[in-house]
């Protein structure tokens, strides 16, 4: 089980029309896939998202030379060392080495993690609501309608990127047209203060279909989250950029949020990610993974969710939903696993149980150009 070869697949796609959230527009979507092969022929894939020139340089000049000749079974230690150099790259290596171990054992990844408890996991369709279109609200509502027609019953849309008045007009209109058909999460991407977040409460009281309010304020403002949670009638969610379970602790111990939202690509490898899930459950909190970028990292979030016991007896065997990137992004289909009528079905097989789409790898290969 000695690591013999590591290939990298930097992928880039220019969006046909920019779309965005409170942080600005996305003109490109990228993906960085790695494939690790051992001397005995076992293979595993890993994924991370960052600026491609940074990732390529880091892997070619430092990470690959370091990993060649190391034991694939030493995942914990290898991830720990690479994490000091680049956190997201370490997450990719962690995924690939996990798959290799499952392949060698002849087991599915969920078997390594104690076995899947759920054969299906609900998906919510996630949108970037802003665009340059003068009728951006209409366009945004049209996209959500399309997802509902495809069978999604949960959606997440953006607020915080326009004035409160404009954002509220958008959401009010969406609610007037779709409230009976969809449960809605609102994501402000940390752009509010307490006062701005509270200004939504009057509207919230008239709506019974809200899943959660996501990251209204910067996540380090734990005291303010705690205050806000006491006056809001909808659950508070957040934590997509947090690096490990320790980073979530202040939110958990101070009762500042209702739902944790770790991302497999931003945490201490896939094992660290699962540690955060355990923290949520042992603290009596819900956990709904953030999984907007990438295709493979979402599958790891999905498998971890399938192995997580339901939150409470009230929920029966129901599990919290996993995000599905509904926007134009060819890398959601890098591995062929798409929700059907708003539900993911966990595939069987060994390792990941899925193979990479070589067409996507070839079509979107980054040509080395600089992009912003
Ligand atoms: Mg978010």
Domain boundaries, the chain: 3-108+356-363, 111-345
Is the per-residue pLDDT at 315 higher than 80?
no
Least confident of 53-67, 160-174, 313-327: 313-327
Is the per-residue pLDDT at 316 higher than 80?
no
pLDDT given at position 168: 98
Q: What is the mean pLDDT of the chain?
A: 96
Residue 290 designated active-site: yes
Is the per-residue pLDDT at 312 higher than 90?
no
Is the per-residue pLDDT at 121 higher than 90?
yes
Nearest to 147 by CA among 174, 118, 113: 174
CA 126–ligand 1 middle distance (angstroms): 10
Is the per-residue pLDDT at 13 higher than 90?
yes
CA 101–ligand 1 middle distance (angstroms): 32
CATH match of 3-108+356-363 with 3.40.50.2000:
no
Contacts of 329 (CB under 8 A, 6+ apart): 13, 29
Tell me the pLDDT tens digit for each residue of 231-248.
999 999 999 999 999 999
Is the per-residue pLDDT at 267 higher than 80?
yes
Tell me the pLDDT tens digit for each residue of 88-119.
999 999 999 999 999 999 999 999 999 999 99
CA 187–ligand 1 middle distance (angstroms): 6
pLDDT given at position 314: 79
Paired tokens of 276:
């955060």
- Specify whether the backbone of 30 is left (phi greater than 0), alpha (psi in -120 to 50) or beta: beta
Residue 86 designated active-site: no
CATH topology for the 111-345 domain: TIM Barrel (3.20.20)
The CA angle 32-33-35, to the nearest 5 degrees, is 150
CA 21–ligand 1 middle distance (angstroms): 9
Do you know the residue count of the chain? 372
pLDDT given at position 47: 98
Q: Cα(first)–Cα(last) distance of the chain, in Å?
A: 39
Contacts of 126 (CB under 8 A, 6+ apart): 155, 156, 292, 323, 324, 325, 326, 327
CA 219–ligand 1 middle distance (angstroms): 11
Residues with CB under 5 A from ligand 1 (ion): 187, 214
pTM: 0.97
Question: Which one is catalytic: 118, 170, 266, 290?
Answer: 290
CA 370–ligand 1 middle distance (angstroms): 27
Question: Which one is catalytic: 108, 158, 170, 266?
Answer: 158
Q: In terms of C-beta density within 10 A (0-12 exposed, 13-18 middle, 19 or more buried), how is residue 152 classed? A: buried
pLDDT given at position 119: 97
The Cα–Cα gap between 304 and 278 comes to 10
Tell me the pLDDT tens digit for each residue of 327-351.
999 999 999 999 999 999 999 999 9
């Amino acid at each position: 089980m000695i690591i013999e070869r590591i290939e990298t697949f930097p992928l880039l796609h220019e969006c046909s029309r920019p779309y965005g959230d409170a942080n600005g527009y996305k003109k490109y979507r990228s993906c960085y896939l790695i494939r690790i092969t051992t001397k005995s022929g076992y293979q595993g894939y890993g994924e991370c998202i960052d600026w491609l020139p940074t990732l390529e340089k880091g892997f070619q000049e430092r990470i690959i030379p370091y990993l060649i000749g190391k034991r694939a079974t030493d995942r914990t230690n290898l991830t720990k060392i690479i994490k000091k150099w680049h956190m997201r790259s370490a997450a990719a290596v962690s995924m690939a080495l996990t798959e290799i171990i499952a392949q060698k054992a002849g087991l599915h990844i969920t078997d390594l993690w104690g076995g899947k408890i759920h054969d299906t996991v609900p998906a919510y369709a996630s949108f970037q609501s802003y665009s340059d279109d003068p009728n951006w609200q209409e366009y945004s509502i049209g996209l959500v309608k399309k997802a509902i027609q495809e069978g999604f019953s949960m959606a997440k849309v953006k607020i915080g990127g326009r004035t409160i008045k404009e954002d509220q007009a958008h959401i009010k209109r969406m609610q007037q047209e779709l409230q009976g058909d969809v449960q809605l999460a609102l994501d402000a991407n940390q752009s509010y203060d307490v006062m701005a977040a509270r200004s939504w409460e009057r509207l919230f009281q008239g709506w019974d279909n809200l899943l959660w309010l996501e990251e209204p304020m910067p996540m380090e403002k734990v005291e303010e989250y705690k205050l806000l949670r006491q006056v809001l009638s909808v659950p508070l969610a957040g934590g997509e950029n947090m690096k490990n379970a320790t980073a979530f602790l202040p939110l958990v111990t101070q009762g500042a949020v209702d739902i944790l939202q770790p991302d497999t690509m931003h945490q201490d490898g896939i094992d660290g990610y699962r540690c955060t899930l355990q923290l949520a459950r042992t603290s009596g909190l819900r956990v709904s993974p953030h999984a907007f970028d990438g295709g493979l990292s979402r599958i790891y979030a999905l498998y971890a969710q399938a192995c997580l016991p339901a939150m409470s007896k009230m929920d029966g065997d129901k599990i919290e939903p996993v995000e599905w990137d509904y926007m134009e992004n060819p890398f959601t289909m890098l591995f062929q696993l798409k929700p059907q009528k708003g539900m993911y079905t966990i595939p069987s097989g060994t390792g990941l149980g899925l193979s990479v789409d070589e067409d996507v790898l070839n079509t979107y290969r980054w040509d080395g150009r600089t992009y912003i």
